[in-house]
Amino acid sequence: MRWPANHGTKEQVEKYRAAIQAMRDLPDDHPHSFVSQAKIHCAYCNGGYSQVDSGFPDIDIQIHNSWLFFPFHRWYLYFYERILGKLIKDPEFALPYWKWDEPAGMPIPEMFVPEKIYCEPNSLYDVYRNADHIKERIVDLDYGGTDRGLPYEQQISSNLCTVYRDLVRNGGDTLSFFGGVYVAGDSPVENNDPSVGSVESGSHTAVHRWVGDPKQTNGEDMGNFYSAGYDPAFYIHHANVDRMWKLWKDLRLPGHVEPTEPDWLNASYVFYDENEELVRVCNKDSVNLDKLKYNYVENPNEVSLWRKSRP
Ligand code: C2O
């Protein structure tokens, strides 16, 4: 069970930190190394692969800004989590998620804040972050590159409205939530295209930009595709993005269903699994969390505030 990063036990936090450290300790060219894992993201976003297998060797693959966004990242985290578990010999290991959809989870998780570092070295530290934001610590889910300076209460309600907007108002049917159709032969979709999915273009991108360092040329690390995977915050952010898929489905509203087109179901990616074997996985096998044997700890007594936050 993946756990909310703001509610981890000391043991969970320590295990997570140790697992990331073990990953950092591997030689860079090992498929499980911190660098190799980060490069997976770069490879699927920055022209690392072309569509050669489908007969379009001159067209790049870009899994963002389309309906491949959710399933690709689900698989990416799936293997990342299993690799971490293997490195610390804990088959039960599960990732934390940055629960930015509820007020208590909106600050950047404490284990990422430099002042709270109580162990050295802190494997969760990344030098390329917006230091002011990390200190301030409450995320802006509508961040567009400039600080809005909202008072605390207002920032919270703005964030809750953003979650409602991404999951309900703007995500009312399959493609508006997942993103537009993108198939073999299509050129990469631009991030300002109106077809980009509601969560991807909304809260997801806002958090990336909010964490990245504006003093770096490309907003490194979190603010750019090629570098995002080098910040451990990427994976806890994406665990929550993945959870948004689950929450959206659990709303059981009409239209809240995964794509059924063969082009989506059979789209596939390759990853190294925890045994260092190269495996190919399909979108269709990413849909059922029971089969993937992980889920998210939810508090059954908690009423999600965003559900009552229609903008
Ligand atoms: Cu692959 Cu959050 O981007």
Query: In this prediction, does ipTM exceed 0.90?
Result: yes
Question: Ligand 1 mean position to 225 CA, how many Å?
Answer: 7
Query: What amino acid is encoded at 121 in this protein?
Result: P
Residue keyed to tokens 């907003």:
219
pLDDT, tens digit, 9 for 90 and up, residues 106-129 = 999 988 886 655 566 789 999 999
Query: What is the mean pLDDT of the segment spanning 137-150?
Result: 94
**Cβ–Cβ < 8 Å for 159, 100:** yes
DSSP helix/strand/coil, 124: coil
Cis, bond preceding 193 (omega within 30 deg of 0):
no
Q: What is the mean pLDDT of the chain?
A: 94
191 vs 252: CA distance, rounded Å: 28
Shortest-distance atom of ligand 1 to CA 45? 1
Question: Ligand 1 mean position to 81 CA, how many Å?
Answer: 16
Per DSSP, the residues of 105-123 read G-BPPGGG-GGG--SSS-T
pLDDT, tens digit, 9 for 90 and up, residues 169-203 = 999 999 999 999 999 999 999 999 999 999 999 99
Q: What pLDDT does residue 46 have? A: 83
Give residues with Cβ within 8 angstroms of 172, minimum separation 6: 253, 255
For the question of residue 204 being annotated catalytic, the response is: yes
pLDDT, tens digit, 9 for 90 and up, residues 92-106 = 999 999 999 999 999
Q: What pLDDT does residue 112 have? A: 86
Q: What pLDDT does residue 301 have? A: 80
298 vs 290: CA distance, rounded Å: 15
Instruction: With a cut of 70, say whether residue 291 has pLDDT above it.
Output: yes
Question: Ligand 1 mean position to 190 CA, how many Å?
Answer: 14
Indicate which residue's Cα is closest to atom 3 of ligand 1. 225
Query: What is the mean pLDDT of the segment spanning 137-146?
Result: 94
Least confident of 53-57, 76-80, 242-246, 286-290: 53-57
Q: What percent of the chain has pLDDT over 90?
A: 88
For the question of residue 237 being annotated catalytic, the response is: no
Shortest-distance atom of ligand 1 to CA 63? 1
Give the pair of three-digit tokens for residue 40: 């997976």
- pTM recorded for the entire structure: 0.97
Strand 268-272, strand 96-97: pairing = unpaired
Instruction: With a cut of 80, say whether residue 272 has pLDDT above it.
Output: yes
Question: Ligand 1 mean position to 205 CA, how many Å?
Answer: 8
Shortest-distance atom of ligand 1 to CA 69? 1
CA dihedral 210, 215, 220, 224 (to 10 degrees): 70
Residue-range domain boundaries for the chain: 3-308
Query: What amino acid is encoded at 123 in this protein?
Result: S
Q: What pLDDT does residue 122 have? A: 87
Q: What pLDDT does residue 114 have? A: 67
Q: At 154, is the pLDDT very low, low, confident or very high (cuts 50, 70, 90)? A: very high
Q: In CATH, which of 1.10.1280.10, 3.10.129.10, 3.40.50.1860, 1.10.167.10 is domain 3-308?
A: 1.10.1280.10
